[in-house]
Amino acid sequence: GAGVSQTPSNKVTEKGKYVELRCDPISGHTALYWYRQSLGQGPEFLIYFQGTGAADDSGLPNDRFFAVRPEGSVSTLKIQRTERGDSAVYLCASSLLVGQSNEQFFGPGTRLTVL
Amino acid sequence: GNSVTQMEGPVTLSEEAFLTINCTYTATGYPSLFWYVQYPGEGLQLLLKATKADDKGSNKGFEATYRKETTSFHLEKGSVQVSDSAVYFCALRPGQGGADGLTFGKGTHLIIQP
């Protein structure tokens, strides 16, 4: 596809359930990022991958959050034992290279609602 | 740590008015600075960027100058249009190693009235 795609676009789940959010980056982009945007706030960095490895996961809020990118392309953000405070829009971005002036291209996001 | 502070919204202006959205930052080293825009119903898009002090980023009539002495990156446009109504985010990327993720401000909702 032409841009970053994310599925599902909306996810409603119950407290305590497990969810997976998928990101399909722009073809050929080596870097992939996950952000979380709460209502009325700017995006908050969670984790980024360079290839298959997580280069920096310092933004993950706790050990309920985990992300993988096994083949260096598609990534999945996994949230265990969801809590109401996890409700937010989860954004994915990709870029061609990691560096100073490199542009990150954002997907449309997955809106997660935890009831 | 790194942080970005931008003016609270919403900012409401009439068409053809002059726009300034203030942005200041705190960061170690020499970060790159960005303005992103989110139009209604759309994803985040890069509007402009600057990678070193005194650089001016510009796009679609918008401008912002990287001011290291005042740690600012204010967004300006000389004559706004209704189509500029959107949420604008100021962001930085650290200049030295470590995380390459962006640090965003809270966003400023801009409303342009005809």
Chain A residues near residue B107 by CB distance under 8 angstroms:
40-42
pLDDT of residue A101 exceeding 80: no
Closest CA to B74 of B16, B11, B1, B14: B11
Count of pairs with CB atoms under 8 A, one residue in A, one in B: 64
pLDDT score recorded for residue A102: 74
Residue of B nearest to A101 (CA): B51
Confidence grade of residue B98 (pLDDT, cut at 50, 70, 90): very low
Which candidate from A42, A100, A106 shows the least CB-CB separation from B51?
A: A100
pLDDT score recorded for residue A98: 58
Per-residue pLDDT of B13-72, as tens digits, reads: 999 999 999 999 999 888 999 999 999 888 899 999 998 899 999 999 999 999 999 999
In this prediction, residues A101-112 reach a mean pLDDT of 89
Confidence grade of residue A23 (pLDDT, cut at 50, 70, 90): very high
Cβ within 8 Å, pair B102-A104: yes
Per-residue pLDDT of A38-97, as tens digits, reads: 998 999 999 999 989 988 899 999 999 999 999 999 999 999 999 999 999 999 999 887
Which candidate from A33, A42, A100 shows the least CB-CB separation from B32?
A: A100
pLDDT score recorded for residue B108: 97
Judged by DSSP in three states, A84 sits in helix
- Only one residue has tokens 């954004």, namely A91
Closest CA to B108 of A111, A93, A40: A40
Neighbouring CB atoms inside 10 A of B23's CB total 25
| Chain B, window 89-108: residues with a beta carbon less than 8 angstroms from a chain A beta carbon | 89, 91, 93, 95, 98-107
Confidence grade of residue A107 (pLDDT, cut at 50, 70, 90): very high
Judged by DSSP in three states, B101 sits in coil
pLDDT score recorded for residue B41: 85
Which candidate from B44, B93, B103 shows the least CB-CB separation from A106?
A: B44
pLDDT score recorded for residue A1: 54
Which candidate from A45, A55, A98 shows the least CB-CB separation from B102?
A: A45
pLDDT score recorded for residue B17: 97
Chain B residues near residue A56 by CB distance under 8 angstroms:
98-101
Cβ within 8 Å, pair A45-B103: yes
| Cα–Cα dist A58/A7, whole Å | 24
A11 in Cβ contact with A114 (< 8 Å): no
pLDDT score recorded for residue A27: 92
pLDDT score recorded for residue B96: 55
In this prediction, residues B84-95 reach a mean pLDDT of 93
Distances (CA, A) of A69 to A52, A73, A103, B24, B42: 5, 6, 20, 34, 26
Chain B residues near residue A40 by CB distance under 8 angstroms:
106-107
Output phi, psi for A35, to 5 deg: -130, 160
Residue of B100, B103, B108, B109 for testing the chain A interface, max A β-carbons within 10 Å: B100
More confident residue, A28 or B21: B21
